[in-house]
Structure 1
Amino acid sequence: MKMIALWLGIGAVILLGAYIRLAPSDPAKWHVAPVGEQNRDLEGGAIRVVETGPDGLAKLDAIARDTPRTSVLAGSVDEGMITYITRTNVIGFPDYTTAQQDGDTLRIYARLRFGRSDFGVNRARVEGWLALLQP
């Protein structure tokens, strides 16, 4: 009986891991404009509003694309808004970061998909990107 429970537990963990890695990312849900006029730290993410000049999104795009395990979900520099998916190394949890250029202002909204807390991972990633954005 214990062996069956063990195998069922292992199977459940494998299925959960497969779901986390393979669950589709709907651009209609995740590629949304960041809202806010000030920086905010959230339990599962962060919002940053910075003055970058009109080319902030293009510079951030180069930095984000150079980040390991990060890809574009939707958008482009030409559209003025891009949403990235960054996955954790081991399990592959997806985090979504949307950046939008509004004149000289760059708005960034980073958030998790699964769970309630990201332990500051999204905030740290965005802060790292912004540090690289500085001249």
Structure 2
Amino acid sequence: MFKLGLFLFVGLVVLAGAYVRLAPSHPDRWHVAPLGKADRNNRGSVFRVIETGPNGLARLDAIARETPRTRVLAGSVDDGMVTYITRTRVIGFPDYTTAMQDGNTLRIRARLRFGKSDFGVNRARVDGWLALLQP
């Protein structure tokens, strides 16, 4: 009986991991303009507004593309808005970060997909990107 329970538990963990890795990321759900005027931190997301000049998105894009396990989901620098997916190392949980150039202002919103708390991962990544963005 113990072996059957263990087998079922391991099977559920594998299925959950497969779902996290393989669940589709629809751009129409995640590639949404980040709106707001002030920085804020939430349990599963972070929002930043920074004055960068007109080329802030291009500079941030270069930084984001160098981040491990990060790829573009939708958009481009030419579009003025890019959404990235960054996955955790072990399980592959996806986090979505959307950056939008609005004149000289760069607006960035990072949020998790699964769960209620990201343990500060999105805030650390975005603040790290912004630190590298500064001259």
By the TM > 0.5 criterion, same fold? yes
Within 5 A, what are the aligned runs for 1:38-49?
38-49=38-49
- Aligned counterpart, 2:29: 29
Q: Indicate the residue corresponding to 1:106 in structure 2.
A: 106
Amino acid at match of 2:10: I
* Gap regions ≥5 residues in structure 2: none
- For residues 64 and 108 of structure 2, the distance between their equivalents in structure 1, rounded to whole angstroms, comes to 12
CA shift for structure 1 position 3? 0.8
**Structure 2 residue matching 1:109: 3-state secondary structure:** strand
Number of residue pairs aligned between Structure 1 and Structure 2: 135
Secondary structure, counterpart of 1:61 in structure 2: helix
Q: What letter matches 1:39 in structure 2?
A: D
Name the CA distance, whole Å, in 1 between partners of 2:43 and 2:36: 16
Moved over 6 A (4+): none
Where does residue 9 of structure 2 map in the other structure? 9
Identical residues among aligned pairs (%):
73
Letter in structure 2 aligned against 1:123: R
Q: CA deviation at 1:35?
A: 1.1
TM-score by length of 1: 0.99
CA distance in 1, matches of 2:5, 2:120: 35
Q: CA separation in 2, counterparts of 1:3 and 1:124?
A: 41
SS of 1:110's equivalent in the other structure is: strand
Deviations 1:43-70 (CA, angstroms, capped at 9, x unpaired): 1010000000000000000000000000
User: Which whole-Å deviations, capped at 9, do the CAs of 1:71-107 have from their partners, x for residues lacking one?
Assistant: 0000000000000000000000000000000000000
Quick one: which amino acid aligns to residue 101 of structure 1?
Q
* Structure 1 vs Structure 2 CA RMSD: 0.3
In structure 1, C-alpha distance between the alignment counterparts of 2:54 and 2:92, rounded to whole Å = 33
Q: What stretches of structure 1 of length at least 5 have no aligned partner?
A: none
Partner of 1:56: 56
